Structure 1
Amino acid sequence: MSKLTPADTVVVLDFETSGLSPKQGERAIEIGAVLLENGQITGRFQELMNPGFAIPAFIESYTGISNAMLADAPPCAEVMERFYQFVGPHNMVAHNASFDRSFLTAEWAYIGRQAQAEFACSMLLSRRLLQDAPNHKLATLVAHQQIDNQGIFHRALADAEMTAQLWLCLLKQLQQQFKITQPSFKLMQQLSSQSKANIVSFLRRYSQQ
């Protein structure tokens, strides 16, 4: 999908994992995602997956996902093939996207797949567009933006849904503050690489084009 596609049509995803890095042999244990089309959630994807080994007690406590739950889950390869079909050509968004992208790339590599589109990071965007937030953790931003939630964090679908609502808040911020009503996905990527001090001048120049 072209980078010039609208920013309000994306797949927003979140992984729960056995550890911090696929380079250390860690694997995904849950994937959750929502498909946004024209700013509306039109699809959801959520599955646990068995990484083939027991996860640490800390991860069980942190996520609420137990080894017993994973024992009955399908293997990563099956789930990630289904997720590949769900994503299709859409651009993708995640909060702290470098983490999720590293696991997505690794899990798809196991099954001979690779992303067809681009990534953007809602955390990087929020640092630039919501500079008055106390910090830019997902839970903090959900509270800061008064996003409806059920108080569930560190489960993949719940986090993906809250990230999707945060992404829409960021698009609304562009409309309200800078009169940019239909930002492209490419613009959101460009914003992520701007310094905080340069954001206002950059967006004013963009809105005058």
Structure 2
Amino acid sequence: MESIAVIDFETTGVSPDQARATEIGVAIIEDGRIVDRYQSLMNSGAWVPPFIEQLTGISNAMLRSAPPSDQVMNEVADFIGERPMLAHNAAFDQKFWDAELARIRRRRSQPFACSLLLSRRLLPEAPSHKLGDLNAWAGLPDTGRAHRALADAEMAANLTLHLQRLLLERHAIRAGHEYLCGLQKLSAAKVRALLRAV
């Protein structure tokens, strides 16, 4: 199976118009497993509000000694290369990825898949589609503290591998990134009909 870069950001807020990234984690999945990782705090000079510090454990003091965000974004963009990308609630991470790349005059060329949209379509019986809840419900490995970038990227990677295994075992579908992107655009009813027909 192709290589996919699963990413997660921790940030100072919800919109890159008013907030900056404080940490990024990447888990590379290939052939049914995580094969490589990248993680770094990133210092943009932005202030971390107390409630964000409480949520993530990332403090202003930690960021003062972190590498500059420009350096981190160049490193992580080189690390990912042209691999297709994925995140849980990708609309959030994609906005920050594009905004932080634009600050270093780089642009994304590859598409994003979303494990949140995919889980809603492929695991409708799950009691919650929050990343930590889904991983616990599916019995996937504990990757560490939630709301830290690498732990969350690894959780999303394990969830994606789980969804790919389900499609292969139940429907004999080898679901690469392009297939996943197409699937997430369909309604849940259309996905059920499609899979029944396979």
Q: Could you state the TM-score of these two structures normalised by the residue count of structure 2?
A: 0.96
Q: Which residues in structure 2 correspond to 1:61-80 (within 5 Å)?
A: 61-80=54-73
Aligned-partner Cα distance in 1 for 2:27–2:38: 6
For residue 39 of structure 1, report the CA deviation from its aligned partner. Answer: 2.0
Shift of residue 200 of structure 1?
A: 2.2
What is aligned with 2:16?
A: 22
Q: CA deviation at 1:83?
A: 0.5
| Aligned positions of 1:36-185 closer than 5 A | 36-180=29-173, 182-185=174-177
Gaps of 5+ in 2: none
Tell me whether 1:196 sits opposite 2:188 in the alignment: yes
- The alpha carbon displacement at 1:151 in A equals 4.7
Equivalent-residue separation in structure 1 for 2:6 and 2:78 (angstroms): 15
**Offset from partner CA, 1:120-156 (integer Å, 9 cap, x none):** 0000000000000011000110111101105510000
Answer whether contact 2:24 2:149 (CA < 8 A) is retained.
yes
What amino acid does structure 2 have at the position aligned with 1:42? V
- Preserved CA contact (<8 Å) 1:77 1:110: yes
Instruction: For residues 139-174 of structure 1, give each alpha carbon's deviation from its aligned partner in whole angstroms, at most 9, with x where no partner exists.
Output: 110111101105510000000011100000100111
Q: SS at the partner of 2:116?
A: helix
Note if contact 1:96-1:124 (Cα within 8 Å) is conserved in structure 2: yes
Are positions 1:9 and 2:3 aligned together?
yes
Mapped to 1, the partners of 2:137 and 2:122 lie a distance apart of 13
Task: Find the aligned partners of 1:45 and 1:80 in 2 and give their Cα distance.
Answer: 11
Aligned mates of 1:110, 1:89 — CA distance in 2: 19
Report % sequence identity.
Answer: 47
SS in structure 1 of the partner of residue 9 of structure 2: strand
State the AA in 1 paired with 2:151.
A
How many correspondences in the alignment? 198
Q: Distance in 1 between matches of 2:32 and 2:51?
A: 36
| SS in structure 1 at match of 2:46 | coil
Runs of 4+ in structure 1 deviating by more than 2 angstroms, as ranges, are: none
* Unaligned segments of structure 1, at least 5 residues: 1-5
The equivalent residue for 1:3 is none
Once the two structures are superposed, residues 94-116 of structure 1 have per-residue CA deviations (whole angstroms, 9 ceiling, x without a partner) of 00000000000000000011112
CA contact (8 A) 1:9 1:39 kept: no
SS in 1 for 2:27: strand
| AA aligned opposite 1:67 | N
Contact map agreement 2:33 2:161 (CA 8 A) in 1: no
